């Protein structure tokens, strides 16, 4: 009859629907595959960006360290080193913080060039930049030998030389505190440090002489107790 679907028509319709479902499934699979690829790409791009930023920061840090080392080797003045740190740290106040004179020194900042040099040298010393710090302490000793900070500068010269295993230079620096500034508060500490160096170098006799000098001349000094202990260990 006209208008009635035959079995063949139903079969064809079913086949068309199955083909349509198959195409839809393929299209859905392709969409999901593309989404997965896109997600993986986003993750990869993010990882690459993080790695790139990390590499840039690492290279910047290396450049800063190389620049500071280069300036130390060139022997630039402490004021120039301070200016460089101003550029990196954006704060002069952050640079000049930290201990001021050496052990036992009663010092008031007089705003002179010597005190500024000392501040800069101490900052370098605390950062472990011994070459730059030594330059600053030596400049104080050479240019301002009578300044209140000169004994502390000599003491820290000895400290740096000892850190660098230049023991003869360290001895000379420690002993120079008592030689040139016999009334300074750094003398007992400097003589004690010189005595310890003599012990390490195998000169127990000279070490004993210096330790006894500390104990007898400055019996109430903090370092005097340490000196007594060391004397008790010397045969």
Name the DSSP letter for residue 5. P
pLDDT value of residue 193: 96
Under 8 Å between Cβ of 118 and 164: no
Identify whether 11 is part of a domain: no
Identify whether 216 is part of a domain: yes
Q: How far apart are CA 16 and CA 9, in angstroms?
A: 10
Regions of the chain with pLDDT less than 50: 1-3, 52, 76, 88-110
For the chain, how many structural domains are there in total? 2
Structure-token match 């004690």, residue found? 192
Q: Are residues 128 and 211 in the same domain?
A: no
- Between CA 9 and CA 15, with CA 10 as vertex, the angle to 5 degrees is 100
Q: Are residues 127 and 214 in the same domain?
A: no
pLDDT value of residue 35: 72
The two structure tokens encoding residue 160: 């740096």
Give the domain extent around 140.
Answer: 71-166
pLDDT value of residue 80: 53
Q: Are residues 75 and 123 in the same domain?
A: yes
Q: How far apart are CA 191 and CA 25, in angstroms?
A: 90
The two structure tokens encoding residue 134: 């030594």
pLDDT value of residue 89: 47
Under 8 Å between Cβ of 205 and 175: no
Q: How far apart are CA 93 and CA 114, in angstroms?
A: 18
pLDDT value of residue 61: 58
Identify whether 66 is part of a domain: no
pLDDT value of residue 17: 73
pLDDT value of residue 2: 42
Domain boundary among 114, 138, 166: 166
pLDDT value of residue 134: 93
Q: Are residues 75 and 159 in the same domain?
A: yes
């Amino acid at each position: 009859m006209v208008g009635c679907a035959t079995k063949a028509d139903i079969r064809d319709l079913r086949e068309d629907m199955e083909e349509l479902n198959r195409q839809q499934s393929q299209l859905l699979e392709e969409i999901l595959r593309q989404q997965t690829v896109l997600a993986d790409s986003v993750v990869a791009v993010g990882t690459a960006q993080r790695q790139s930023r990390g590499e840039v920061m690492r290279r910047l840090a290396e450049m800063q360290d190389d620049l500071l080392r280069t300036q130390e080797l060139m022997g630039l003045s402490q004021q120039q080193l301070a200016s460089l740190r101003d550029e990196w740290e954006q704060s002069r106040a952050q640079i000049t913080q930290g201990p001021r004179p050496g052990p036992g020194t009663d010092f008031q900042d007089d705003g002179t060039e010597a005190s500024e040099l000392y501040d800069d040298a101490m900052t370098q010393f605390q950062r472990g930049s011994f070459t730059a710090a030594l330059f600053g302490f030596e400049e104080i000793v050479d240019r301002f030998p009578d300044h209140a900070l000169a004994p502390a500068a000599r003491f820290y010269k000895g400290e740096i030389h000892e850190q660098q295993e230049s023991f003869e230079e360290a001895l000379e620096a420690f002993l120079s505190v008592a030689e040139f500034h016999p009334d300074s508060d750094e003398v007992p500490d400097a003589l004690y440090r010189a005595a310890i160096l003599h012990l390490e170098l195998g000169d127990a006799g000279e070490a004993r002489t210096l330790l006894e000098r500390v104990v007898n001349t400055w019996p109430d000094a903090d370092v005097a107790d340490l000196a007594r202990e060391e004397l008790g260990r010397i045969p």
